């Protein structure tokens, strides 16, 4: 059997297409069975080593894939952390609904002080008062007309400052003082009388029970002659808080007032409104002072 070039191909049982040599009964060459067994064992050993090596490579490849996947996952997590500014994961952040809402004790602003409360009774109406403080200055402008201020007066003898049936009305309701002031303009004069009581109810009662004969006595002086002593004059009666106030208006020359004498009616109305405003302002001033304390 030749192993040189051009000879018969060597049979390899692991190589496809190789041919097993034909052994003829007439051949004197006998196969070397021991050599063939050694060759087969060597090939089997190499095959096992290849399979072991291939398995190790596959294991390394899988490990590489896992490592890449882990690194990739870590990279994404880092990117996510950077994007969120290093904040913990959403599951770690308590939701707004889980946090208790802030609670505040119910509060309310105190109601504003009512100015009328301070002039409704002598207990709260404690600011100093006189004819001069209630009617300050030397003149006043009301209804577009400037009136000159005349004489003022104040007395605790209420009956001495009134006439007709008013003295009895004031006495019945325990009048404590009557203050008067006179204003004049172009021959028309008006005297305002303000009577004080301890309570609003007493002043209201005076207003309700006074009649046409319940008149404050006019106050002359300081350039104003006597008026409305015998002539017909126009009078009014009203009240606010613990104050009852009256007006009497007429001519300084002594003539009677008629319904056509609009200047007299206007003067009486202007002084009545001015008196109401002064009493109300007194309450507002005391309420403001109390609120600042």
Cβ pair 171, 158 in contact under 8 A:
yes
**CATH number of the domain where residue 239 is located:** 3.40.1000
pLDDT along the chain (293 residues), means of 10: 44 50 47 61 58 49 47 44 46 54 61 88 95 94 93 97 97 98 97 98 97 96 95 97 98 96 97 96 93 81
pLDDT for the residue 208: 97
Q: Does 101 map to a domain?
A: no
Of 132, 112, 118, 138, the residue nearest 243 (C-alpha)? 118
Instruction: Identify whether residues 201 and 75 lie together within a single domain.
Output: no
Tell me how far CA of residue 210 lies from CA of 52, 145, 160, 266, in angstroms.
131, 29, 17, 22
Residues 195 and 119 occupy one common structural domain: yes
Is residue 110 domain-resident?
no
Q: Is residue 103 part of a domain?
A: no
Whether 221 and 79 map to the same domain: the answer is no
Are 122 and 58 contained in the same domain?
no
* 284 and 172 both lie in a single domain: yes
Same-domain status, 79 and 127:
no
Same domain, 145 and 81: no
Which of 71, 87, 103 is the endpoint of a domain? 87
Query: What would you measure as the largest C-alpha separation in the chain, in angstroms?
Result: 188
**Do 201 and 277 belong together in one domain?**
yes
How many domains does the chain divide into? 2
52/182 same-domain check: no
Closest alpha carbon to 281 in 182, 128, 134, 177? 134
194: left (phi over 0), alpha (psi -120 to 50) or beta: beta
Q: Which residue segment(s) compose the domain that 144 sits in?
A: 115-291
Residue-by-residue DSSP string for 110-131: PPPPPGGGGGSBTTT--S---H
- Which DSSP string corresponds to the chain? ---STTSPPPP-TTSTT--PPPPPTT------HHHHHHHHHHHHHHHHHHHHHHHHHHHHHHHHHHHHHHHHHHHHHHHHHHHTTTPPPGGGSPPTTTSPPP------PPPPPPGGGGGSBTTT--S---HHHHS-SSEEEETTEEEEEEEEEEES-GGGGEEETHHHHHHHTT--EEEEEEEEETTEEEEEEEEE-SBHHHHHHHHHH--TTEEEPP--BTTB---SSSS--EEEEEEETTEEEEEEEEETT-PPP-TT-HHHHHHHHHHHHHHHHHHHHHHHHHHHHHHT-
Identify whether 17 is part of a domain: no
Q: Is 3 among the domain residues?
A: no
Residue 94 domain flag = no
At residue 6, the pLDDT reads: 45
User: Is 137 inside any structural domain?
Assistant: yes
With contact defined as beta carbons under 8 Å apart, do 233 and 247 qualify?
no
| Per-residue pLDDT, 152 | 97
């Amino acid at each position: 059997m030749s192993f040189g070039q051009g000879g018969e191909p060597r049979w390899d049982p692991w190589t496809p297409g190789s041919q097993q040599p034909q052994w003829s009964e007439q051949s004197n060459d006998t196969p070397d069975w021991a050599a063939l067994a050694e060759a087969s064992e060597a090939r089997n050993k190499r095959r096992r080593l290849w399979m072991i090596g291939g398995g190790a490579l596959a294991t390394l490849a899988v490990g590489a894939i896992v490592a890449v996947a882990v690194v990739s996952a870590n990279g994404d997590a880092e990117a996510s952390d950077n994007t969120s500014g290093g904040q913990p994961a959403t599951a770690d952040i308590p939701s707004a609904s889980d946090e208790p809402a802030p609670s505040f004790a119910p509060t309310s602003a105190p109601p504003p002080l009512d100015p009328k409360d301070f002039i409704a009774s002598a207990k709260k109406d404690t600011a100093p008062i006189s004819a001069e403080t209630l009617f300050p200055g030397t003149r006043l402008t009301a209804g577009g007309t400037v009136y000159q201020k005349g004489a003022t007066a104040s007395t605790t003898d209420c009956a001495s400052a009134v006439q007709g049936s008013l003295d009895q009305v004031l006495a019945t309701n325990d009048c404590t003082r009557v203050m008067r002031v006179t204003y004049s303009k172009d021959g028309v004069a008006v005297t305002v009388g303000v009577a004080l009581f301890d309570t609003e109810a007493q002043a209201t009662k005076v207003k309700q029970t006074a009649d046409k004969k319940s008149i404050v006595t006019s106050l002359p002086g300081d350039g104003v002659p006597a008026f409305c002593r015998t002539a017909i004059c126009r009078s009014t009666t009203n009240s606010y808080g613990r104050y009852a106030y009256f007006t009497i208006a007429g001519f300084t020359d002594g003539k009677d007032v008629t319904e056509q004498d609009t200047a007299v009616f206007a003067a009486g109305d202007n002084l009545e409104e001015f008196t109401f405003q002064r009493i109300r302002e007194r309450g507002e001033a005391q309420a403001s002072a109390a609120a600042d304390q």
